[in-house]
Chain A
Amino acid sequence: MMKRFMERGWRSVVAILLVIVFWESTVRIFSIEEWLLPTPSAIVRELFAVWPTFYPHLLSTLLLAVLGFLIGALFGLTVAMVLHSFDKVRETIYPFLILSQNIPIIVLAPLLVIWFGFGTLPKFIIITIACFFPITISTLGGLQQTNRELSHYMLMMGASKREMFWKLELPDAIPSILSGLKIAATYSVMAAVVSEWLGAQQGIGVFMTIATSSYKTPRVFVAIIVTMLLSFLFFSVILLIEKLLKRFVVRGGA
């Protein structure tokens, strides 16, 4: 694992380092004001300085994102299974799923606050809307494209609908489900931060809003970079799960 990372990952690491060096030197050479664009080193300094007050915000967002992701994933998987099992429902609902993704969250968020108040419910709704879609679409795709030879065998052997689902369709769809989860995992952090703009007690979103309105740009960057790292962490967790489910993902040559 580590060796493979060293073999393939070094290019990305070098690229990131180059970007940081370029950024740092440009800001210094043109002596750009800190409130306009801080240097990477200033951002790191700010991170350490602000950490004790930032830390509770981070935890709060982390919790919100994890819970939101789990709710969204559960919802997404359930919707996919229902749509897979009932053809008529699928044909009726599918357009609405796509429409649900065309609602701008920035507009929806204040409405949700009007309807549901400042509690956690509207936040979870926002994260769920962001997360469920990639999961539903890819899971449904996986379930609908079951290996034909395997399903012919199961039908000839007289497998029931339930056996078809649990023994064949669901395990066969695991690679698709995992790719949906990967996309949703990265969305969930972003959606959590956006949902906190609506008025939360704490969270990276709150921290970000306060920092922006007082022109503390290095702090805004701290929030942005931590959000990105958090997304990356979520993504890595799903990759880890993928490794654990290797036998469902590795299919070998035909």
Chain B
Amino acid sequence: MGLSIQGIQKSFDEKVILDGVTFDVQDGEFVSLIGPSGSGKSTLFGIIGGLLEPEAGDITMAGTSIVNERGHISYMPQQDALFPWRTILDNVVLGQELHGKVDKTQAKEMLEFAGLGDVIYAYPHQLSGGMKQRASFIRALLSPQSVLCLDEPFSALDEFTRLDMQKWLLKTWEAHRQSILFITHSIEEALFLSDKIVILTNSPAKVKEVIDVPFARPRDESLLLTEEFLIWKRKVLDLVAKRAV
């Protein structure tokens, strides 16, 4: 049993941000969290990461509560957050340095697989935006924690790079099958990548709907143009647009 978010309640200065948010991420499941900007998605991540304290509710991982505890999840931020003085190789093993053992052989294999074989010893400023995000994802994958939290990782990239990155992420993830909680505000991205989509309402954030995405894996980009995909996209769009009752 993976990550379970149960009735999380959080407010800042009397303003309720999260109002009883509840959902699960099963082992090996790819779950996307969508909702309007400012709907408290990042606050929820802060709580899962143990940086913020919820007023009520519980978060469990494999049955044990991890509320207010840090270090249980692996994290990929919106900006790549690679350390400028470390080589790409030294960057991707950072998560292992913090928890567990550094395995540079495995790291090199992963970087080769990600098409970063030529830049293993380069520094981040020598890489393009897409390459940096790949390195950042590899760093999250290599970290020993079993659940990955990705905070809008592709929102800073241009349209072309983003599609490439989504395909690449799918391929890499399908080879590793870790549990992923993915924040995005793109419905298309959420449908293309995930097994399950959790739709949040705006201020305060509640879970409005949980959708099981029916598309078979492995998926490729031709899926994006199928009738079925467009029907689902319309369906999710309607759900997001519908006012909370």
Contact = CB atoms under 8 A, between A and B. Distances in A.
A155 B49 contact: yes
Contact of A171 (B79, B85, B143): B85
B72 interface: yes
B182 to A, nearest CB: 15
A251 B49 CA distance: 28
A163 B98 CA distance: 8
A252 B49 contact: no
Contacts of A158: 49-50, 69-72, 98-99
Contacts of B94: 157, 167
A168 B51 CA distance: 18
Interface string A187-203: 00000000000000000
Given A157-B71, A157-B98, A158-B70, A252 B77 contact: no
Contact of B85 (A154, A156, A159, A247): A247
Contact of B83 (A150, A159, A253): A150
Interface string A132-166: 00000000000000000110111111110001000
Given A155-B49, A158-B50, A149 B99 contact: no
A252 B124 contact: yes
Contacts of A10: none
B73 interface: yes
* Chain B interface mostly: loop
Nearest to B77: A153
Interface in A104-143: none
A252 B71 CA distance: 30
Question: Counting chain A CB atoms within 10 Å of each CB, which of B83, B95, B97 scores highest?
Answer: B83
A23 interface: no
A154 B82 CA distance: 11
Interface string B80-103: 010111000000001101110000
A149 B72 contact: no
A247 B77 CA distance: 23
Contacts of A153: 75, 77, 81
A136 B133 CA distance: 36
Contacts of B73: 156
A159 B74 CA distance: 11
A157 B70 CA distance: 7
A163 to B, nearest CB: 6
Contacts of A252: 84, 123-126
Contacts of A171: 83, 85
A248 B85 contact: yes
Interface in B16-50: 45-46, 49-50
A250 interface: yes
B51 A156 contact: yes
B77 A152 contact: yes
A252 B85 CA distance: 10
Contacts of A154: 98
A67 B85 CA distance: 30
B77 A149 contact: yes
Given A163-B98, A167-B94, A167-B97, A157 B74 contact: yes
A150 B50 contact: no
A152 B95 contact: no
Contacts of B72: 158
Contacts of B49: 155-156, 158
Nearest to A152: B77
Contact of B75 (A150, A156, A168, A248): A156
B151 to A, nearest CB: 9
B98 A155 contact: no
B133 to A, nearest CB: 13
A246 to B, nearest CB: 9
Given A149-B79, A250-B125, A157 B51 contact: no
15 contacts: A150-B81, A152-B81, A153-B75, A154-B98, A157-B95, A157-B143, A158-B50, A159-B98, A167-B97, A171-B85, A247-B84, A250-B84, A251-B84, A251-B125, A253-B125
Given A158-B69, A250-B84, 7 more contacts: A157-B71, A157-B143, A158-B99, A159-B71, A250-B123, A252-B84, A252-B126
Interface of B: 45-46, 49-51, 69-75, 77, 79, 81, 83-85, 94-95, 97-99, 123-126, 143, 149
Leading 10 A-B pairs by shortest Cβ distance: A158-B71, A252-B125, A158-B70, A156-B75, A156-B49, A153-B81, A248-B85, A149-B81, A247-B85, A149-B79
